[in-house]
Structure 1
Amino acid sequence: MPIKVLFSYVALVALVATVGWFLYSENVVYNKLEDKIAFEKTKILRVSKLFSNVYKTESLARKTIQTNSEDDFKSYITETDSLRARIDTLKQIVTTQYQKTLLDSVTYLLSEKTKNIRQLKTIKNKADDEVSVNSAIDEITKMEFKLRKLELQDFNKNPNQLGSYQRNVLQKYVDYLNQNIPDDSTNTLSKKASDSILANSKKLLSSVKLRAEKKKESLNFEENKLLKNEIAISDQLRKVLRIIEREIIINSIKNNSLKEKSLKKVNEIVTASAIIGLLLTVFFSILIVSDYSKSQLYKRQLEIANFKTRNLLKSREQLISTVSHDLKTPLSTIVGYSELLGNSDVNTKQSYFIKNIKNSSEYITQLVQDLLDFSKIEAGKITIEKVPFLLPEVIEDVARNIQTVYKQKDIDLIINIDEKLNTRIVGDPFRLKQILTNIIGNAYKFTENGHIKIGAHTTNDDTFFVVSIEDTGIGIEKGNQKLVFEEFAQANENIEKKYGGTGLGLSICQKIISILGGNLNLESTFGKGSTFEIQLPLLFDNSQSAIEEVKKPILKNTKKQIFIVVDDDINLLNLTSGVLKQENHQVLAFTSAVKALEVIQHTNFDFVITDIQMPEMDGFMFLEKLKNTPNNIYKKQPVIALTGRTDLDFSVYTEAGFTTVVKKPYSPKILLETIQHILGNDELPNIEIKENEENYSSELYSLETLNGFLGNDVNALNEVLKSFIESSIENLDFLETAILEENTEEIKSIAHRIAPMFKQIQAHEIAAILKKIEKHEFETAEMKSIFKDLKTRTDVLFSALNQELI
């Protein structure tokens, strides 16, 4: 199932990666199309501006043609240059050669247009010359009017051909002019002479005028031709610009179409990936659910098999216990009578028989003992003690006793023990003797001559002590070194034939050392010898002596004190009260702060010890109300706060009025030292035990601190354990009800109330779960499964504690 789950995740990740790659590729294409569309829009905008410029140049061109003004022509030239610059700019951003060619043609047409305008301007200037000739004729005519009288013939060669109306009008005009011709002495020329001069001048000018008129007709023809060319050029210019604009628009439409296709493709990819993802999810879900169903079936089968195995192990244990017990009695009889026979008068042959009987009996006795120990270890019923003892004495006793058994062998025994280990340490001397007896016994058994060295020293950090047993025996082949620690196994067949043995000894030693929290290592060279190294935790015996030292100054420096102790956990309340009562103090104990305030209204007390987190009224409120009691019973007596909280600084407690703080779980030594500091008016440290999960023991629980509270009183310990188990079972029932009712505040309250005692006996895993429940670190939906796990763990713990009681 894990492999399938892994493959499902890999498949989905692969799908996501593939889809992501496709979407990224399409996004790149889409962005490029967006850029192209924006680019084409820019070109369209510029072409539109070109159209505007073209219309403006055409307007200026028409104005120039009409006015023939040099200023208008210059404005036209300036606008044309601007238009040409815009065309050059547009040419830099167009993408096809065809568009560039069209823009080049626009530039060419603009040049042609400018050339045409210039030519038209020249034609206009020439037309102005004709106007000048006409002006000259008019001036001579005016002179003629001044020199003589005018006639109709002077204005029309054939006046008789004119209509009556035109003739009358012209006659009236001539008469009018004649009336205004001066007739003075300045007209010295004769009429004939002046008429001759004027006639010749007019004739000359008339011929010039005739030629000018002919030329004007030619110029008018050229002008019309150039105007037509101008119109054609303008049309062609607009046509070219429209072609460019249409091509740009077509490209924009094409890019928009590609953009829509890209969006459609993205939509298709997303849809397809969603469908594939759904199919993969359904497919792997079916596989996983199928495997889960199988695993549940296997789990049930395994539970049944485990149940049968436990029953078989139990039956085997009972069988071994029964057989061992039944064997021990006749074996004791055989050994006893063998000893009696050996001490009586027997011949050599009988002595040989008795020796064989004795050796066989001892072998069977050792086998029975090994089987019993092995069975206990397998069943988890082996008991480990923690008592003070001297390590050098244990090593010396075991080594000398075994040396006496093998005194016939020529083997030197060398013992070297570090001076640090000459003080008492805490541990299980019986199990240590069992381990040393087995390993040192093997060293003597498999060594014919040479030496056996036994050394003991501490590690650099003084957390472990190491005992090494080195021999010069037969050694063990490298490939067989692991076998010596397995049950009913020997390094090779020849050992069993030559030296005997069950193959259980080293296996039992390794298991016991593991239970004690240590390690067993082997280094061996075949034919040269072996070295076994035992490493066990080192704990010096200073706790009880420290408590006694604290007790002495308290007894010396203080009289009998009256203590008020408030704690909602009845078990911790009894423990704290018990420690104080051992010191001959009077104790008033309360599980409720409200009740305590009611009772002690008229009590003279010397000391207050209170829990912080309690229902109804917490420790802070209790102290505040104690300070404000109407009859002033609080006279600044010392107040110690007991708490498992780690979220508040020490200053918070002192500012509230507490003398100091003791963090749960705490030992009698910590509590007594704190009281001694206060009573001795010493400077108070922030006394607290910080939880360090890395140093938690792998043991299910430890009664060391509890025994410290109870002064190693077995009866008192049994009572406390019984009370603890009963109250915890009751509180767990309340907790289960609160979880079913989803009563968050009640859940947190119960968890807080029962957690400290589990910490006190160092049931760290259970205490950690309760702490998380108290902080509400689990969702409501998780609580049922969490409680189920908690219940399983507490059942195991209570079962083990009941064994302690037995």
Structure 2
Amino acid sequence: MMSAPMPENEAERLAALRAYEVLDTPPEESFDRITRFATQIFNVPTAVISLVDSDREWFKSACGTASTHGDRTNSFCGHAILANDVFVVEDALQDDRFADNPAVMGESIRFYAGAPLCTAQGANIGVLCLRSPHPRRFSERDREMLNALAASTMTELDLRVSKARAEAACRARTRFFANLGHEIRTPMTAIIGFTDLLTHDELSGAQRQEALRTIKRNSEQLLGILSDVLDLSRLESGRIDLHWNNVRMNNIFDDLRSMFEWRAKEKDIELRIDVARNVPLVLRTDSTRLMQILINLVSNAIRYTKEGAVDVLVSYAEPTGRLMVEVRDTGVGMNDKFLKRVFMPFEQAKTSRTRERGGIGLGLAISLALSEAMGGELTASSAPGVGSVFRLSLPVASGALGKSEEPRMDVVEGGLETDVLHGRNILVAEDGRDNQRLIAFVLEREGANVTIVNNGALAVQRLQEEPAAYDLVLMDMQMPVLDGYSATRQIRDRGLDTPVIALTAHAMDGDRQRCLDAGCDEFLTKPIDRDKLVEVLVRFAQKSSSKPAAA
């Protein structure tokens, strides 16, 4: 008896087999139907779907035999997986490889034909085989039909995987949205509760300030949750845009320190950031996305560390031009099972450990996707009770600061003279009454004259009637009658060059370009950031040609 040699791609083949997660599963009618059909059309007593494991063949379906598995060493299927076509033994007693095989000598197998079950990547994970105690001929047409049945078997296996993944994704999303509802209700409870106190109760000045701080803090937490969900949506749809700029590395890590130092002190743990001397002063990367990844990693590390320290180790691999960041903690750590899922969206949120410490389980999934979009990688290692290490590696290029980029990207050079809004006439097109009041309040405090209309058609009409009356237009993009996109296009079609600032609740990456394509000069997202709103309006007021200020 001659045992089959191991395939050259045995490791990859076994990995492909196990990825189907089908070994040792209960019988399924879709596979039993195939083996029954095979016995009928080929007129043989036995047909088997045999999956060839490392030391055994396991039968997903077997018609005509009660066996559920066999020894790979003695198997015909071990030979069949080496072939790219149907493997046929018309009379095993006449074949030196099988003449002394126990199954042949026991007269249960004289004829064998097996078509490989081949994955899309070319791995033969098993065989659809026919067996008979009688020798027989096997024609070319028989080969074609058996190959077709083997292909149908693979289709069933692939459908089984797709169905299992879809069901798992559905369960994960259900768990996620249940947890998301909880995470949204928690800050909303504080916001509504303290708002109610401010409205109905007599509070001291200190109590009112504390209530307002609580409302603001919980509003920012709620916005962070919504931003994570939107980021995940962008990444899953492939709509993430990267914006490369020259970045001062010391600014990035100084900001990171100031952002989290107080949180570490609150938990009585150390936050240590060590930047190696060889890290260039200026690197070219997407500063916003880099900061987002670092915030997620450090936030997680602090969240799961009760005592000890969180270390951020920054280095630069000069030969490969990669920025290397390690975030180490002495927290609770993770076992191997959880570590395999830690970067998966929706999965993290279902654990009680995560619920105890807050978070909805999207930060690491987003960070991994961002690092890959930037051409890098993010990996993790961990041990329960010891802590975790997350390693970020990003390709970067040495940069040089231009005038517009010194010294920080989030500070407007030379500052802003906000009094330039004094006496300026600003047309606001916004249909939300509360937003109308908020915008008017902010701009009137800066000395601007504010005119409000509640749809795009009225904005176009006002500008057409008095084209020189307004210095700036603040345009909501989603309004009744005529939306902001159409209104802006009509304004530009009429030859009017009044600066139009888009204001929208749509925060996807493509939305900015859509606004600019419609003719807007700048793009702002809701919720309204007062300082950012004033900064942008001042910038365009400074750029606009001098117009007679209102008396």
Structure (1 or 2) with the greater strand fraction: 2
Q: Which fold has the larger relative contact order, with Cα–Cα distance below 8 Å and residues 6 or more apart in sequence?
A: 2
Structure (1 or 2) with the greater helix fraction: 1
TM-score normalised to the size of structure 1? 0.28
TM-score normalised to the size of structure 2? 0.40
